[in-house]
Structure 1
Amino acid sequence: MTPATGGATMRRSASAAAGSTDAAPARTPRFLAIVGPTGAGKTALALLVAQRLGGEIISLDSRQIYRGMDIGTAKVTPAERALVPHHGLDLRNPDQRYSAGEFGRDARRWIDAIERRGRVPVLAGGTGFFLRVLTEPIFREPPMDPVERRELEDVLAGLPRDELERWVRRFDPDRAEVAIAGGYQRMLRVLSITILTGHNISWWYVRYPTEGEALAGVVCLLEVPRDVLDERIRRRAVEMAEGGLVGEAARLLRDGYRRGDPGMNAVGYREMVDHLGGGMTLREAAERIRVATRRYARRQDTWFRHQLAPGAVRIDGTAALEAQATAVIDAWAA
């Protein structure tokens, strides 16, 4: 057991790592995933691993799909994209929806194409639901009027978080904790589907067909002690606030996007919109970003610890980057 793995147990089968039971027959892994909370160091690790393996990176980040939202989402730079091909970035405008189901369909196409090129699909990010739709496919959403849905979600987005959580628990108690852990977009989805169709998501899961077959993969969870992660998040919040996030948010507002848009309600942007509107100083906005990001990272950490299968490989996020990459590559080769 090496320090680089942080006590991790290497996978015995692709099915165990991807979310199936140990009793299920082993399947050939279709992808390598590097997941973890915000600030854990997934981007740098994925870039190094992809270069070593001859891979292409698929983003598992529900905010990096938005165009023009680069600083606040810590999106990879053009120079980093030149090193390794990336997929799943800049797919939508900030006022457009992009569901986990849509990601599942897109990611399956990307994985197929990457494999045909003889390369390794490397998934990296902190949106656990994006990973889950590949290993445990979800139902295809029923048709809903897009205008009604947008208007409804605009109203819901104006509610305090604790009020949203209360309604999610009331409407869909069986899936409430999973939805709440997924953040605003996940809760809005639960509420809008329930209100507009008359049935909650738990009902639809039982009765509607799923989005494709389950894929096997090797999943590596990047773990960082809470105090170390908190300090990384503090530095990131200050760097974003001082490094152009104000200008990025101002440009998005000038382009006609609003605080309640699917992309604009992300951590960092809503605080900057409030700052630009005179509601708080830049220092206060940076502090609110730090607090909100830390809470989000806590929810991510809880989700990954409880939702990933026991076969997932734990990687010490405080080890040297080379050691982390070696542990991930060893897991893929095992």
Structure 2
Amino acid sequence: MPEALALVGPTGSGKTALSIEIARRIDGEIISMDSRAVYRGMDIGTAKATEAERGGIPHWGIDIAEPSERFNAARWAAYAREKMAEIRARGRVPMLVGGTGFFLRALTHPIFQEPELDPDRRARLLEWMERQTDAELHRWLLALDPESAERLRDWGGRQRLMRALEVPLLTGRTLPWWHRNSPAEETPVTVLPFVLEVPRDRLYAGIDRRVTEMVEAGLLDEVRGLVQKYGEDAPGLNAHAYIELFPYFRGERTLDEALDLARANTRAYTRRQLTWFRTKLPGGAVWLDATRPRRELADEIVAAWSRAVAEPASEG
């Protein structure tokens, strides 16, 4: 029997509204799988659901870290396991909702036991890496760990790039080697995954419109305030719709140029999300046309969940 229902999809696919309707029907509580919604103060640019939009459904995994902190998949998985246990103890259904696929994979394919890293050496290494460009970090990774370099070429991000590089530099062994030769920290979590799929032209149009709406909602003030408080190098601020605005604030880019780049980068990110969903999701994922009416989608998901949780009882 699945331990949780997972609803994933690219940015702007309608996960939020659909998940709330499903939660009402199955007595669910939602654990966010958004690697940027974990950060406090990053509200408009991450399109966090407001209290009114949540409709009284408990939401977890939101506003649990400062943008100055590094929040990786291992930390999220530990948090999610704890919340899932609490939700089940209340007799409710844990629902994992979001677009950060490697968060989900940290539950379904538990992360290996990490090697001990000397904290002083790691701090010095991180300080050095922060001064390097992504291209330079990738060049180093290509020399030290070609397997990870190829994997992160299309699906990475600066934080994952630095993580993949620090392991061989500090341990002499690559990240894939540790994955293959170290025991997992936890047992795998079984989920019933659903994927929302949107035609690419419609998805891109929605992204373009969404960036405009964010600006109208106060995105510039939000980003400016976060930069003033945490600085441009804060790990949490390395996100689309945030990082593209930094040069605008410095007078190095017009606002239109910054927003066009934010739209382009977000579109590219959704393409990588879809690639990840097709290749990395656990078996049995159900792909759904997200252009269908929300009620119809909810009907199908709730029916599939009911069948999945009833199967063990019927077999007994």
TM-score (norm. length: structure 2):
0.90
Which residue of the partner structure matches residue 221 of structure 2? 247
Which residue of the partner structure matches residue 52 of structure 2? 79
Partners in 2 of 1:197 and 1:323 — Cα distance? 51
Which residue of the partner structure matches residue 105 of structure 1? 78
Which residue of the partner structure matches residue 142 of structure 1? 115
SS of the counterpart of 1:302? Answer: helix
SS of the counterpart of 2:237? Answer: coil
Where in structure 2 are there 5+ consecutive unaligned residues? 308-316
Conserved in 2, the CA contact under 8 Å of 1:275 and 1:281? yes
SS of the counterpart of 1:38? Answer: coil
Give the C-alpha shift of residue 159 in structure 1.
Answer: 4.5
Which residue of the partner structure matches residue 249 of structure 2? 276
Partners in 2 of 1:150 and 1:319 — Cα distance? 49
Partners in 2 of 1:152 and 1:74 — Cα distance? 34
Give the C-alpha shift of residue 208 in structure 1.
Answer: 2.5
> Is 1:286 paired with 2:259?
yes
Which residue of the partner structure matches residue 312 of structure 2? none
After TM superposition, the structure 1 = structure 2 runs for residues 8-157 of structure 1, keeping only pairs within 5 Å, are 28-81=1-54, 83-145=56-118, 149=122, 152-153=125-126, 155-157=128-130
> Is 1:223 paired with 2:197?
yes
Partners in 2 of 1:48 and 1:94 — Cα distance? 30
Query: Which deviations, in whole Å up to 9, do the C-alpha atoms of 1:141-169 show, x marking residues without a partner?
Result: 33335565455445535545444444434
> Is 1:213 paired with 2:183?
no
What one-letter code is carried by the residue in structure 2 that aligns with 1:274?
P
Change (3 A) 1:97 1:308: same
Which residue of the partner structure matches residue 24 of structure 1? none
TM-score (norm. length: structure 1):
0.86
What one-letter code is carried by the residue in structure 2 that aligns with 1:216?
T
Conserved in 2, the CA contact under 8 Å of 1:104 and 1:133? yes
Conserved in 1, the CA contact under 8 Å of 2:248 and 2:255? yes
Conserved in 2, the CA contact under 8 Å of 1:245 and 1:272? no
Partners in 1 of 2:118 and 2:252 — Cα distance? 34
Which deviates the most, 148-157 or 135-144? 148-157
Conserved in 2, the CA contact under 8 Å of 1:105 and 1:211? no
Which residue of the partner structure matches residue 183 of structure 1? 157
Which residue of the partner structure matches residue 264 of structure 1? 237
What one-letter code is carried by the residue in structure 2 that aligns with 1:139?
F
Partners in 2 of 1:125 and 1:222 — Cα distance? 10
SS of the counterpart of 1:263? Answer: helix
Partners in 1 of 2:209 and 2:121 — Cα distance? 40
State the superposition RMSD in angstroms: 1.9
Instruction: Give structure 1 regions of 4+ aligned residues with deviation exceeding 6 angstroms.
Output: none
SS of the counterpart of 2:195? Answer: strand
Q: Of 264, 279, 300, which residue of structure 2 is paired with 1:327?
A: 300
Partners in 1 of 2:127 and 2:304 — Cα distance? 44
Change (3 A) 1:233 1:206: same
Query: Which deviations, in whole Å up to 9, do the C-alpha atoms of 1:252-306 show, x marking residues without a partner?
Result: 1222x12222101111111122211112122111111000101111111111011
Change (3 A) 1:326 1:167: farther
Conserved in 1, the CA contact under 8 Å of 2:112 and 2:178? yes
What one-letter code is carried by the residue in structure 1 that aligns with 2:16?
T
Which residue of the partner structure matches residue 201 of structure 1? 175
Give the C-alpha shift of residue 198 in structure 1.
Answer: 2.4
Query: Which deviations, in whole Å up to 9, do the C-alpha atoms of 1:129-152 show, x marking residues without a partner?
Result: 111011110113333355654554
What one-letter code is carried by the residue in structure 2 that aligns with 1:275?
Y
Change (3 A) 1:172 1:217: same
Which residue of the partner structure matches residue 295 of structure 1? 268
Partners in 1 of 2:139 and 2:303 — Cα distance? 44
Conserved in 1, the CA contact under 8 Å of 2:6 and 2:192? yes
Partners in 1 of 2:199 and 2:140 — Cα distance? 33
SS of the counterpart of 2:36? Answer: coil
Query: Which deviations, in whole Å up to 9, do the C-alpha atoms of 1:152-202 show, x marking residues without a partner?
Result: 445535545444444434332334444341422222211122223322111
Give the C-alpha shift of residue 214 in structure 1.
Answer: 0.5
Aligned residues: 306
Change (3 A) 1:313 1:144: same
Q: Of 183, 200, 212, which residue of structure 2 is paired with 1:238?
A: 212
Change (3 A) 1:248 1:192: same
> Is 1:316 paired with 2:277?
no
Which deviates the most, 273-282 or 126-135? 273-282
Identify, as 1 or 2, the structure richer in helix. 2
Partners in 2 of 1:236 and 1:150 — Cα distance? 38
Change (3 A) 1:70 1:147: farther
Give the C-alpha shift of residue 309 in structure 1.
Answer: 3.8
Conserved in 1, the CA contact under 8 Å of 2:20 and 2:54? no
